[in-house]
């Protein structure tokens, strides 16, 4: 039995135990008014319940990602999934929020889904322009940065829907933009569309320090997951996060279990 299959079966057995979100500790909620007075999505537990047990799993994930780097500078990560609806964007944002809690770190999350951008919706913001506008030469990076949603987190929204997103993401302008972001921020997360649907993560992955795959336990079969890894053969795949299972990092010599997420 493969490691992926074992992880999926273990997560499925414990899925029922992680169905509810933990309550925030009284008097310790992190409250910040987002842009326009809108509401941050309740699935961003690291924002609404920063001291909860589930948020601690994201902090452990943050520490594990640092461990994966092996002392090297891991600064740009692509987050993707095999299929739709696996919690990729919420996982990326929760990770970004806990990284912001390092007061000396500048964190950026870039919505690289130029077809159906979602990061701005989860944060309750209404940007006028974004990444697609910068890549099309219709805006500068400074024109699209959003900094007043969550403390120490800068957002690059997706922008207007594009008819040729894969071409945009593989362009020299995107490579230049990544270098510009690295000159401003300590860690950048790129949220991309599902890899079995479009090629965006495939072309963006080699331009970054690596890829993390988000998989929803009990939803995706083994073969699509294997196919996703095959498609990422030109990228450095650091592992996968199994949503609604355990949080584990064993491939690199670590092993830690926590209800809610599985990292391998």
Residue 162 covered by a domain: yes
Q: Among residues 77, 59, 52, 47, which one has the least CA distance to residue 150?
A: 47
Give the contacts of 70 (CB within 8 A, at least 6 positions apart). Answer: 252
Residue 23 covered by a domain: no
Residue 177 covered by a domain: yes
CATH classification of the domain holding 105: 3.40.50.300
Residue 87 covered by a domain: yes
Task: Please report the pLDDT score of residue 39 as a whole number.
Answer: 77
Task: Please report the pLDDT score of residue 10 as a whole number.
Answer: 54
Give the number of domains in the chain.
1
Is 178 in contact with 170 (CB distance < 8 Å)? no
Q: Among residues 217, 240, 228, 259, which one has the least CA distance to residue 65?
A: 240
Task: Please report the pLDDT score of residue 198 as a whole number.
Answer: 92
Residue 159 covered by a domain: yes
Task: Please report the pLDDT score of residue 181 as a whole number.
Answer: 96
Residue 190 covered by a domain: yes
* Domain that includes residue 169, residue range: 3-17+32-263
**Burial class (CB within 10 angstroms; exposed 0-12, middle 13-18, buried 19+) of 98:** buried
Is 114 in contact with 131 (CB distance < 8 Å)? yes
Please list the pLDDT of the chain residue by residue as tens digits (264 residues).
555 555 556 545 544 443 333 333 333 322 233 443 347 878 888 888 888 888 888 888 888 777 765 546 789 999 998 878 777 898 999 999 999 887 678 999 999 999 988 888 888 888 889 999 999 999 999 999 998 767 889 999 999 888 889 999 999 999 999 999 999 999 999 999 999 889 999 999 999 999 998 887 766 677 888 888 889 889 988 888 877 644 433 233 333 334 344 444
Largest CA distance in the chain: 51
């Amino acid at each position: 039995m493969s490691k992926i299959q074992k992880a999926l079966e273990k997560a499925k057995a414990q899925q029922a135990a992680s169905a509810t979100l933990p309550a925030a500790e009284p008097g310790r909620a992190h409250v910040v008014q987002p842009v326009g007075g809108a509401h941050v999505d309740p699935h961003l537990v690291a924002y609404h319940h920063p001291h909860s047990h589930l948020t601690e799993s994201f902090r452990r994930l943050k520490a594990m990602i640092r461990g994966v780097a092996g002392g090297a500078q891991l600064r740009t990560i692509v987050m993707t999934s095999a299929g739709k609806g696996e919690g990729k964007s919420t996982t990326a944002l929760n990770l970004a929020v806990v990284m912001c809690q390092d007061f000396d770190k500048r964190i950026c999350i870039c919505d690289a889904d130029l077809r159906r951008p979602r990061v701005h919706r989860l944060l309750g913001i209404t940007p006028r322009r974004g990444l697609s506008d910068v890549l099309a030469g219709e805006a500068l990076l400074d024109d699209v940065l959003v900094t007043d949603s969550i403390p120490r987190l800068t957002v690059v929204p997706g922008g207007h829907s594009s008819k040729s997103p894969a071409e945009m993401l593989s362009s020299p302008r995107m490579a230049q933009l990544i270098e510009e972001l690295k000159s401003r921020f300590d860690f950048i997360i790129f949220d991309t569309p599902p890899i079995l649907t479009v090629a965006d993560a495939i072309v963006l992955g080699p331009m970054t320090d690596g890829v993390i795959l988000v998989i929803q336990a009990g939803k995706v079969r083994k073969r699509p997951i294997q196919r996703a890894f095959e498609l990422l053969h030109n990228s450095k795949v650091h592992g996968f996060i199994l949503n609604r299972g355990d949080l584990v990092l064993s491939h690199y010599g670590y092993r830690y279990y926590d209800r809610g997420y599985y990292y391998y």
